[in-house]
Amino acid sequence: MTAFANKSAMKFSDVVQRLGISLEHSSLGFNPDLDPSLESVMAVDEAKPGTISYIDGAKFAAQVATTAASALILPKNHALQTAASDRGIAWLETAEPRLLFAQAIALFYQPFQPAPEIHPTAVIHPTATIGESVYIGAHVVIQAGVAVGNHACIHPNVVIYPDVQIGDRTVLHANCTIHERAQIGADCVIHSGTVVGAEGFGFVPTPQGWYKMQQSGYVVLEDGVEVGCNAAIDRPAVGETRIGKQTKLDNMVHIGHGCHIGFGCAFAAQVGLAGGVEVGNRVILAGQVGVANEATLGDGAIASSKTGVHGNVAAGEIVSGYPCVDHKTYLKSSAIYSRLPEMYQTLKKLQKRIEELEANA
Amino acid sequence: MTAFANKSAMKFSDVVQRLGISLEHSSLGFNPDLDPSLESVMAVDEAKPGTISYIDGAKFAAQVATTAASALILPKNHALQTAASDRGIAWLETAEPRLLFAQAIALFYQPFQPAPEIHPTAVIHPTATIGESVYIGAHVVIQAGVAVGNHACIHPNVVIYPDVQIGDRTVLHANCTIHERAQIGADCVIHSGTVVGAEGFGFVPTPQGWYKMQQSGYVVLEDGVEVGCNAAIDRPAVGETRIGKQTKLDNMVHIGHGCHIGFGCAFAAQVGLAGGVEVGNRVILAGQVGVANEATLGDGAIASSKTGVHGNVAAGEIVSGYPCVDHKTYLKSSAIYSRLPEMYQTLKKLQKRIEELEANA
Amino acid sequence: MTAFANKSAMKFSDVVQRLGISLEHSSLGFNPDLDPSLESVMAVDEAKPGTISYIDGAKFAAQVATTAASALILPKNHALQTAASDRGIAWLETAEPRLLFAQAIALFYQPFQPAPEIHPTAVIHPTATIGESVYIGAHVVIQAGVAVGNHACIHPNVVIYPDVQIGDRTVLHANCTIHERAQIGADCVIHSGTVVGAEGFGFVPTPQGWYKMQQSGYVVLEDGVEVGCNAAIDRPAVGETRIGKQTKLDNMVHIGHGCHIGFGCAFAAQVGLAGGVEVGNRVILAGQVGVANEATLGDGAIASSKTGVHGNVAAGEIVSGYPCVDHKTYLKSSAIYSRLPEMYQTLKKLQKRIEELEANA
C-alpha cells in the first residue's frame, strides 16, 4: 500500500468540524470526552474499532447494537442516538447520512493521482498541444492536432485520434480510445477501456447490400461528465452526439450516433441508446434499459431496470416494462402476470357455466 | 481541424452530377441559375447556408419551410419541391433520399486515413509477414506467424496473437485484440476495444467443480465484416465461429463460440448470441436481443429490440418479446398487458354474477 | 500455424488409455485391430477421417450414421455403439461424453503459452516485485507496489495500477486493466479488454448536483476465477467486491461495487449486477440477466436468460422473467401471454352474455 495509503488518523471532533456539523448535533454535545481517534471509513457491518461508519434506512438500524465502529453518522433519530451513546459509540446527526458518509470518505481517502510527467514512451504528434502540469503515461499515443488542457491526466496506453480536445483536469483511464474530433470538457473522467467518438452504426440497405454512411460528425462531452468502463459513445453522420454537464454514465453504456443528452443525468450499467435519442435533464435510466431510435425522454423522467423505451416519455414520468408503461400500471400488471394460468382456467370454467345457464334459460 | 479537414466546396450542379441525378430531376431543370456553392452536409434542422441536407419521411417534411440549408435531397414529392423552390433552395429528387444523403456525405467528407508507415515502437515478430502500403501504428504488437494483407491499417496499441490472418485493406482500430488463429478477411473494420477470437466460455460441470474445455477452434470473419466497439467474438472448442460477408455488428455485441452467421446481417448494439447459434443471411437483430444456445434464425428473419430468441425462427419471420412470439401477436398481447388488472377485476365480478345467476336458476 | 500447432497424432488405443477408459468399455474390447491413428478432435457434423468426436443427446445421435470421424466418444447406448462398429468407427463409452470430449481436446491441443520473458518495452516501476518464470509482454505497464506471482503471464498492453497483487500462474490477456489495490488470486484468467477494480458508480444526489463518493475499497478475485472479455468488476466505496473461488464470468459481465459472489458460480455473457448484491455458491445466471441493488441469491440458485432479479432468491430456486417469478410459473404464464387478446375478447363476450342472462332472469 505504498502509493496511496490513507491519510493519517484524526480525532472524531476534527471529523465533526470538517463535515460542518455543530457540536450540538453530535455526541460531543453531551459527552465531550468521547472523542475517539479514527483511521478510516468502513461499512457498518464490517467496521472495526478506530473507524467511522453510517446508518441509513431501517435495514441497517439494528447494526447500532452490534457494530464495532467507534463512530457513526446517524439520521435524526433519538432512539438510534441513545443506543449508540449507550455502547460508547461517538455519533453525529444529519438529515443526509449517505452524503455525509461520502464526505467522510473524502476526508480519509487519497485517490491515486500520478504526478505530472510526460513519459518518454508516449508518442505525441508535434502538432499536438499539451497544457501545464499534465500527466501522460507510458505508451500513450496522441495524434495530430490534439489539444490537452492543464492538469489533465492521461493514463498508460490511451490512444487519442486526431483533432481531439481534452479539457482541464480531465482524467482518461488506461486503455481507452478517443476518436477524431471529439471534444471532451473539463473535469471529465473516462474510465478504462471506453471508446468515445467512434463511427456510428450507419448502413443504408440497398439491393447490392449495405451502403456505409460515413460518420462525419463528432462527440461532445460537456464539463464534469463521467463515463464508466468499456462504454462507447458514437459520433453521428452529421452534427454531434452530445452529453450534457455533470451527466454520469456507468460501465458498458452504449450511446448511439446523434443522441443529445441533457445535464445531470445518470445512466446505470449496460444501458443502450439507439440513434437520435433526445434526453432531457436529470433523467435516470436504471441498469440494462434500452431506448429505441428517435425516442425522447423529458426532464426528470425515470426508467426502471430493463425497461424498453419507445416513443416519448413525458417530463417527470416514471416508466417500466417492455414495452414501457407507466410504472404504477406496470406494478399492477406484473403482479397479475403470475396469475395468468389461473385466470385462463377461470375463464374457461366461466364460459362453461354460462353455457349451462344459457341452455337452462 | 488539421488532419482531415473536409474537402473543398463544390457547386450544387457538381453534386447533382456526381450523385448520378439527371438535371430534369433537380431544380436546375427549372432554374439553371440556382446553383449554390456547397461546403458540407448537415442535418436539416441544424443546417446552415452553404450546406446540403435531406428530407425523408413525414416527420421532417415540415422542415422545408424553415431549414437554412442551401440545397436539399428530396423524395418524389411535388409539394415539397415547390416549397423548396419558393424559398430559393436548390433540390434534387430521388426515390432514396437517405441513400443519396449518405453518398453526398462521401463527396464532402474525407475520413481519417493514416499514411502507410510501420511505427518504430511497434513490436513485430520476425516470422510475421506484412503486406505493402500498410499502416502499423505506435505500440502495436504482432506475434509469430501473423500475416497482414496489403493496405491494411492497424491503429495504435492493437495486439495480434499468433497465426492470425488480416486481409487487404482491413482496418483494426486502437486497443483492439485479435486472438490466435483468427482469420479476418479483406475490407473489414474492427472498431476500438473489440476482441476477436478469444476463448469461448466452455466449462463442464463435474462433482469437483468446473472442468475447462480448451477452445481449440478459431474465428473467421469473411470480407466486408464490420464489428463495433468493445464487442467480442469467441472461438469454439472445435471448428470455427464464422461471420459471413458484409455482416455488420454494432458496439458491445457478443457472439458466443461456434456461432455461424450468414452474409449481409446487421446486429444492433448489445446483442448477445450464446453458443452454437445458426443465423441465416440478411438477418436483422435490434438492440439488446438475446439468442439462446443452439437457436436458429432463417434467412431474412428479424427480431425487434430486447427480444429473447429460443428455438427456431423461420426464414422471413418477425419476432418480438421474451420469450419471443410472432411480432403481430406480440403487439396485440403487449397492448393488453396494461389492462391485466382490469381483466382480473372483471373476471372476479363475472364469477360472482354467475354464482348469483346459478343460485337463482 | 507455427506457434501452437496441435500435438502429434496418437493411436486410438492411446487415447482410450489416457482418458482412463478400460478396454472393455470401448470397441477395442471387441475388435483390437480397429485402432485408427487420430490427429485432432472435431465436431461430429464436421469431422474428417483421422479425428475423434463425440455424441451426446438425441439431437446428435443420428450423426453416427453419417459422420466421417474415425472415432467417437459415445454414451452407454448399445444401439449407437453397434451402429458405430458397423461403420468401422472406433468408439469408447462413458456416462459423461461431453466431459470426455473436453479431456480429449486437452490431449491434442496445446494452447498458446508464451515463454517466460520480460519484454524490454514493458515499463515496470522499481517498487514492483515480479516472481519467477513470468511472461510480461510488450508495452505492459506495471505501477508502484505491484506484486506479480510466479509463472504469471501478462500479455501485451496490459496496464496494472499501483498496489495490485497478481497470483501464481494467473493470465492477464492483452489490453486489460487492473486498478489500484485489486487482489487477484492464483490460476485466474482475465480475458482481453477487461477492467478489474475501477471505481464503482457512486454519486449521491444533492440540490447542487451529483456528489462523487470516492471508492476507497478494492476488488478480490479468489483462486481460479476466470473473467471473459470486455467485462468490468468495480471496487466499492468501502470494503471489498469479492468473487469466490472457481467462479467463471463470461464476456461483458458487469459486477457493481460491493457485490459478494460465492465459489463455483457461472455467469453468462452480458449479465449485470448492480451494487451490493449477495450471491451464494454455485449460482448460475444465464445471458443478459440483471440483478438489482442489494438483491440476494442463495446457493445453487439459477436465473434463466434475460431474467430481472429483485429482492431475494432462495437457495436452489430457479427463476425466470422480469420481474422474476418461479420458473414453472413463468413457463405457464408466458405460454398464456400470446393468448391475451383471445382472453380479452372472450371476457368481453362473456360479460355481454351474462348481461343478457341477467336481463332474462
Instruction: Encode pLDDT of A40-89 as tens digits.
Output: 999 999 999 999 999 987 778 889 999 999 999 999 999 999 999 999 99
Of C111, C155, C344, the CB nearest to B159: C155
Name chain B contacts of C335, Cβ cutoff 8 Å: none
Confidence tier at A6 by pLDDT (50, 70, 90): low
Query: Does the CB of A334 have a partner CB in chain C at under 8 Å?
Result: yes
pLDDT, mean of residues B346-358:
92
Name chain B contacts of A319, Cβ cutoff 8 Å: none
Could you give the CA distance from residue B177 to residue B159 in angstroms, rounded to a whole number?
5
Q: Closest-CA residue in chain C for B332?
A: C341
Q: Provide the grid cell at B189.
A: 473494420
Backbone Cα Rg of chain A: 27
> Which of residues 225 through 264 in chain C touch A, CB cutoff 8 A?
230-232, 234, 237-239, 252, 254, 256, 258
Query: Does the CB of B290 have a partner CB in chain A at under 8 Å?
Result: no
Q: Provide the grid cell at C111.
A: 494452447
Could you give the CA distance from residue B152 to residue B135 in angstroms, rounded to a whole number?
6
Task: State the average pLDDT for chain C.
Answer: 95
> Which of residues 25 through 44 in chain A touch C, CB cutoff 8 A?
40-43
In chain B, DSSP finds a helix count (H) and a strand count (E) of 6, 40
**pLDDT tens digits, B114-144:** 999 999 999 999 999 999 999 999 999 999 9
Q: What pLDDT score was predicted for residue C1?
A: 32
Could you give the CA distance from residue B205 to residue A204 in angstroms, rounded to a whole number?
45
Look at residue C252 and give its three-state secondary structure.
Answer: coil
Could you give the CA distance from residue A40 to residue B278 in angstroms, rounded to a whole number?
54
Q: Closest-CA residue in chain A for B343?
A: A343
Contact C101 B175 (CB under 8 A): no
Q: What pLDDT score was predicted for residue C243?
A: 98
Query: Does the CB of C129 have a partner CB in chain A at under 8 Å?
Result: no
Looking at this protein, which amino acid is placed at residue C190? I
Query: What residues are paired with C291 via a beta bridge?
Result: C273, C309
Confidence tier at B298 by pLDDT (50, 70, 90): very high
Q: Provide the grid cell at C77.
A: 447406448
Name chain A contacts of B42, Cβ cutoff 8 Å: 238-239
Contact B231 C230 (CB under 8 A): yes
Q: What pLDDT score was predicted for residue B6?
A: 53
pTM: 0.96
Backbone Cα Rg of chain B: 27
Q: Closest-CA residue in chain A for C229?
A: A230
As a whole-number percent, the residues of chain B with pLDDT over 70 amount to 98
- Specify the CATH number of the domain B10-108: 3.40.1390.10
Query: Does the CB of A203 have a partner CB in chain C at under 8 Å?
Result: no
Q: Where are the domains of chain B?
A: 10-108, 117-330, 331-360
Report the range of poorest mean pLDDT among A158-162, C195-199, C245-249, C347-351. C347-351
Confidence tier at C6 by pLDDT (50, 70, 90): low
Distance from CA of C82 to the nearest CA of B (A): 26
Q: Is the pLDDT of residue A2 over 50?
A: no
- Indicate if B257 belongs to the active site: yes
Query: Does the CB of B270 have a partner CB in chain C at under 8 Å?
Result: yes
- DSSP assignment, residue B200? P
Task: State the average pLDDT for chain B.
Answer: 95
Contact C341 B333 (CB under 8 A): yes
Of A210, A238, A333, the CB nearest to B341: A333
Chains touching chain A, criterion 3+ CB pairs below 8 Å: B, C
Of B195, B292, B330, the CB nearest to C305: B292
Residue C341: asked if its preceding bond is cis (omega within 30°), the reply is: no
Stated length of chain A:
361
Could you give the CA distance from residue A223 to residue A247 in angstroms, rounded to a whole number?
9
Q: Provide the grid cell at A81.
A: 442516538
Q: Provide the grid cell at A103.
A: 464526505
Looking at this protein, which amino acid is placed at residue B209? G
Could you give the CA distance from residue A261 to residue A291 in angstroms, rounded to a whole number?
12
Contact A306 C322 (CB under 8 A): yes
Q: Is the pLDDT of residue B7 over 90?
A: no
pLDDT, mean of residues B244-267:
98
Of C98, C157, C350, the CB nearest to B159: C157
Name chain A contacts of B334, Cβ cutoff 8 Å: 323
**pLDDT tens digits, A179-226:** 999 999 999 999 999 999 999 999 999 999 999 999 999 999 999 999
Contact, B12 vs B90, CB < 8 A?
Answer: yes
- DSSP assignment, residue C50? T
Q: How many CB atoms lie within 10 A of CB A44?
A: 24
Query: Does the CB of A359 have a partner CB in chain C at under 8 Å?
Result: no
Could you give the CA distance from residue A257 to residue A268 in angstroms, rounded to a whole number?
19
**pLDDT tens digits, B40-70:** 999 999 999 999 999 987 778 889 999 999 9
Query: Does the CB of C169 have a partner CB in chain B at under 8 Å?
Result: no
3-state secondary structure chain A: CCCCCCCCCEEHHHHHHHCCCCHHHEHHHCCCCCCCEECEECCCCCCCCCEEEECCCHHHHHHHHCCCCCEEEECCCHHHHHHHHHCCCEEEECCCHHHHHHHHHHHHCCCCCCCCEECCCCEECCCCEECCCCEECCCCEECCCCEECCCCEECCCCEECCCCEECCCCEECCCCEECCCCEECCCCEECCCCEEEEECCCEEEECCEEEECCCCCEEEECCCCEECCCCEEEECCCCEEEECCCCEECCCCEECCCCEECCCCEECCCCEECCCCEECCCCEECCCCEECCCCEECCCCEECCCCEECCEECCCCEEECCCCEEHHHHHHHHHHHCCHHHHHHHHHHHHHHHHHHHHHC
Could you give the CA distance from residue C16 to residue C14 in angstroms, rounded to a whole number?
5
pLDDT, mean of residues B20-40:
93
Catalytic residue among B125, B191, B257, B260: B257
Q: How many CB atoms lie within 10 A of CB A126?
A: 5
Strand C129-130 to strand A284-285: parallel, antiparallel, or no bridges (unpaired)?
unpaired
Distance from CA of B145 to the nearest CA of A (A): 25
Residue the block writes with cell 444526489: C205
Could you give the CA distance from residue C326 to residue C329 in angstroms, rounded to a whole number?
5
Q: Provide the grid cell at A134.
A: 499534465
**pLDDT tens digits, C214-242:** 999 999 999 999 999 999 999 999 999 99
CA distances from A287 to A300, A311, B188, B254, C211 (A): 17, 19, 32, 18, 20
Of B238, B339, B354, the CB nearest to C354: B354
Q: Is the pLDDT of residue C5 over 70?
A: no
Name chain A contacts of B40, Cβ cutoff 8 Å: 216, 238
Name chain B contacts of C193, Cβ cutoff 8 Å: 175, 177, 193-195, 230, 232
Distance from CA of B67 to the nearest CA of A (A): 15
Catalytic residue among A155, A179, A254, A257: A257
Contact C287 B272 (CB under 8 A): yes
Q: Classify residue C5 by burial, with Cβ atoms within 10 Å: 0-12, 13-18, 19+.
A: exposed
Q: Which of C88, C44, C53 is nearest to C73 (CA)?
A: C53
Look at residue C100 and give its three-state secondary structure.
Answer: helix
Q: Is the pLDDT of residue C308 over 50?
A: yes
Contact, C180 vs C218, CB < 8 A?
Answer: yes
Contacts 24+ apart (CB under 8 A), C297-303: C299/C262, C302/C327
User: What architecture is the A117-330 domain classified under in CATH?
Assistant: 3 Solenoid (2.160)
Strand C117-118 to strand A278-279: parallel, antiparallel, or no bridges (unpaired)?
unpaired
Q: Closest-CA residue in chain A for B51?
A: A238
Distance from CA of C249 to the nearest CA of A (A): 15
Confidence tier at C102 by pLDDT (50, 70, 90): very high
Could you give the CA distance from residue A342 to residue A337 in angstroms, rounded to a whole number?
10
Residue B32 makes CB contacts below 8 A (sequence gap 6+) with B23
Could you give the CA distance from residue B58 to residue B44 in angstroms, rounded to a whole number?
13
Q: Is the pLDDT of residue A151 over 90?
A: yes
Contact C143 A3 (CB under 8 A): yes
Which strand ranges, in their side-by-side order, compose the sheet holding C318-320? C117-118, C135-136, C153-154, C171-172, C189-190, C226-227, C248-249, C266-267, C284-285, C302-303, C318-320, C325-326
Q: How many CB atoms lie within 10 A of CB B24?
A: 9
Q: What pLDDT score was predicted for residue A242?
A: 98
Looking at this protein, which amino acid is placed at residue B314? A
Q: Is the pLDDT of residue B171 over 80?
A: yes
Name chain B contacts of A146, Cβ cutoff 8 Å: none
Could you give the CA distance from residue B285 to residue B308 in angstroms, rounded to a whole number?
11
Name chain C contacts of A112, Cβ cutoff 8 Å: 161-162, 180
Interchain CB contacts (distance < 8 Å): B and C? 216
Task: Give which of B112, B190, B192 to mutate to test A binding, by max A Cβ within 10 Å.
Answer: B192
**pLDDT tens digits, B217-246:** 999 999 999 999 999 999 999 999 999 999
Residue A323: asked if its preceding bond is cis (omega within 30°), the reply is: yes
Catalytic residue among C173, C257, C310, C327: C257
Could you give the CA distance from residue C145 to residue C109 in angstroms, rounded to a whole number?
37
Q: How many CB atoms lie within 10 A of CB B67?
A: 23
Chains touching chain B, criterion 3+ CB pairs below 8 Å: A, C
Q: Is the pLDDT of residue C73 over 70?
A: yes
Confidence tier at C7 by pLDDT (50, 70, 90): low
Distance from CA of C242 to the nearest CA of B (A): 19
Look at residue C324 and give its three-state secondary structure.
Answer: coil
Of A159, A258, A330, the CB nearest to B175: A159
**pLDDT tens digits, C261-270:** 999 999 999 9
Distance from CA of C201 to the nearest CA of A (A): 6
Contact, B64 vs B83, CB < 8 A?
Answer: yes
pLDDT, mean of residues A273-284:
98
Distance from CA of C119 to the nearest CA of A (A): 14
As a whole-number percent, the residues of chain B with pLDDT over 90 amount to 91
Q: What pLDDT score was predicted for residue B360?
A: 85
Residue A116: asked if its preceding bond is cis (omega within 30°), the reply is: no
Query: Does the CB of B211 have a partner CB in chain C at under 8 Å?
Result: yes
